[in-house]
Amino acid sequence: MTACHALAAAADSLAGAGLDARRFLVALGRVGAGVRTGPLWFVDAARGGRNLIPGRGFRREFDDSTSGQARHFAGVVATATRLGIPLTRRLSVVVLRDPLDSSDGRLTESALEFVALIRDGRMPQADAAGWITSHVCAAGRQA
């Protein structure tokens, strides 16, 4: 299983937990990037999280040749859920120096879209894993 598909599987598992949208997104940040759920979450986010799902398997436009893209996606989800999409985007570009046209910038934008869809209720949590698989993961081995 690729890291991207493992991230999708984590989202699928969380979708069955009966969490509200915010808690679902925060929990995905915890299992995918090690960003705590409590008041010290910002410490983990500022450190860049932890690579809990190392590996590859992301679409070419999101692949930065590292094994940390699941952490990146989940960390952006955790941060945007708490700080909002505009501020998270700004921090990504200015502080992390991930231009919007870079692989990390494009992955950030994808994570921000994911947050908006879940948060606004336009995508049910039950569809989150499929969305990650079809929008973020490279075609190929899933299991």
Specify the pTM: 0.95
pLDDT at 142: 52
**Spatial distance between the Cα atoms of 118 and 2, rounded to a whole number of angstroms:** 23
For residue 123, being part of any structural domain is answered with: yes
**Spatial distance between the Cα atoms of 67 and 57, rounded to a whole number of angstroms:** 9
Q: Which domain holds residue 126?
A: 3-135
Whether the pLDDT of residue 14 is over 70: the answer is yes
For residue 83, being part of any structural domain is answered with: yes
For residue 140, being part of any structural domain is answered with: no
**Spatial distance between the Cα atoms of 8 and 107, rounded to a whole number of angstroms:** 15
For residue 96, being part of any structural domain is answered with: yes
Whether the pLDDT of residue 143 is over 50: the answer is no
The two three-digit tokens of residue 79, written as one number: 């941060």
Which strand (E) or helix (H) includes residue 76?
A: helix 69-83
How many structural domains comprise the chain? 1
Q: What is the pLDDT of residues 79-137, one digit of tens each?
A: 999 999 999 999 999 888 889 999 999 999 999 999 999 999 999 999 999 999 999 99
Q: What is the pLDDT of residues 45-57, one digit of tens each?
A: 999 899 999 999 9
Whether the pLDDT of residue 65 is over 90: the answer is yes
CA distances 7 to 10, 24, 99, 115, Å, are 5, 13, 24, 15
46: how many CB neighbours lie within 10 A of its CB?
Answer: 12
For residue 141, being part of any structural domain is answered with: no
